[in-house]
Every structure is written in structure tokens, then in C-alpha cells.
Amino acid sequence: MKLNGTVLNTAENNLLVYEEEGNEHFLTGIETPLRDDAFELSDEEKITAITHHFRAIMETLGLDLRDDSLKGTPHRVAKMYVQEVFSGLNPANKPKIALFENKYRYREMLVEKDITLHSFCEHHFVPIIGKAHVAYKSNGNVIGLSKINRVVQYFAKRPQVQERLTIQIAEELKRVLQTEDVAVIIDARHMCVSIRGIEDTNSSTVTGSYHGAFLDESVRKEFLHHISH
């Protein structure tokens, strides 16, 4: 392959293809892409391996890891990746959610809005920061309000594409609540847009997933009214 008249070797060609695919920002599937052996290593083993590799990255950048401020960074980053920002990759961390009978017979829309959302772009591994808005109509059962937040956080704590994240949250709530009447909207800023590339600090991305009753225009408009006020 040639680029501006220069012949690229196989490695350079593959790197260019990966970069172009990342910039296209396409969705490969609803499930987060994981290898079959994703959980063969323990968390401690993963932290050890990531510490080694991140130290190599820092050294390649020319940083002096003998400095007191830097020498603990590889291990801190590794712990953050495994135990915090990417903890949603491990199904063992999936929130346990109990259903309760809707004794109040509340049949109207329940909306949980402005749920704080922190995730990471899977193309550049930089933050996605925003809000999630969730609504459902009970079919006879309800869940604790904080459990909605926990579902959002669980799926956000992994490398993500916002479209996939929106769908994953909606599908999990449908499964847990045993109803199709679920809606999810995410409004978020992507650091891969604001701190690199185009460096646009003002734009945000909005995605939605509507199901069941929320496919009706009047119900959807009611949901949008609630989250905008």
C-alpha cells in the first residue's frame, strides 16, 4: 500500500487500517468484544502484567521512572484499570438486583434522570463523561432506584462505544424488570473529540434506545419532557 507516494510495510499498513477504522467509529456488536480466555488470569495477575507493560510505555516515551513522582505510576494505572474503570468487564462484578412487588400499583412512567456516567472510549482509551436518563413502566414489579444507577455504572466501566453502552443498559433493564417498556438516553462528551483530533470542546453525543410503550410517540415525548425539565 502507498501513502503519499510512500510504500508502507505490512505493520505500517495494518496500523493505518486500524487508525482509519477507529476514526470511522463503527459499532461491531451489542456484546463487548472479549476473548474466550478473558478471565483465566486473576485480578492480581492482570495488575502485574499491566504494570509491566505500562512501565514499558512510559519508558518508551522517555520518562524517568526513578523519579519519586513517576515510579509508582505503572502500578497505580494497572490497579485503576482492573479494579475501577474497567471493572465492568468482569461478570463477577455485575450488580445483584432483586425485584419487588409494585404494591402501590404505580402504572405510570418512572424516570431516573441525570445519572452520572463515566466510561472510556475503546478507540483511544480516554474518558467519556456525561449523563444517562432511564425510564420504565412497571409490569407489576419494581427495583430499588439505586440499582438503576448500578446497572449504568456496570456497563460504563469498560472500554465502550456509546451506541453499544446505550443498548446494553436498555437490554439489561428489560431483562431484570421483565418488561419491554424501557427507555435509555445518554448525553456525553468524548475526550477523544475534545483533547485530540478535531479538539472540539463544546460538542456532545446523544444516543437513545426505546422499547415497548416508548416506541409510541406520545410516551416518548413525555419521557423527553421529564428529562429536559
Q: Reply yes or no on whether 19 is catalytic.
A: no
Pick the catalytic residue: 75, 112, 122, 171?
A: 122
Strand ranges for the chain from DSSP E? 2-3, 6-7, 100-101, 109-121, 127-137, 141-142, 159-160, 182-190, 205-210
Residue 110 to residues 138, 186, 229: CA-CA distances in angstroms?
8, 17, 15
Annotation marks residue 162 as catalytic: yes
Q: Which residue has the cell 475534545?
A: 194
Q: Count Cβ atoms within 10 A of the Cβ of residue 78 and give its class: 0-12 exposed, 13-18 middle, 19 or more buried.
A: buried
* Known catalytic membership, residue 83: no
* Per annotation, catalytic residue among 75, 118, 124, 211: 124
Q: Is 153 a catalytic residue?
A: no
Catalytic residue of the set 160, 162, 168, 172: 162
Q: Which of 133, 160, 168, 192 is catalytic?
A: 192
Which grid cell sits at 25?
467509529
3-class secondary structure for 71-127?
Answer: CCHHHHHHHHHHHHHCHHHCHHHCCCCCCEECCCCCCCEEEEEEEEEEEEECCCCCE
24 labelled catalytic: no
Active site residues: 121-124, 162, 190, 192
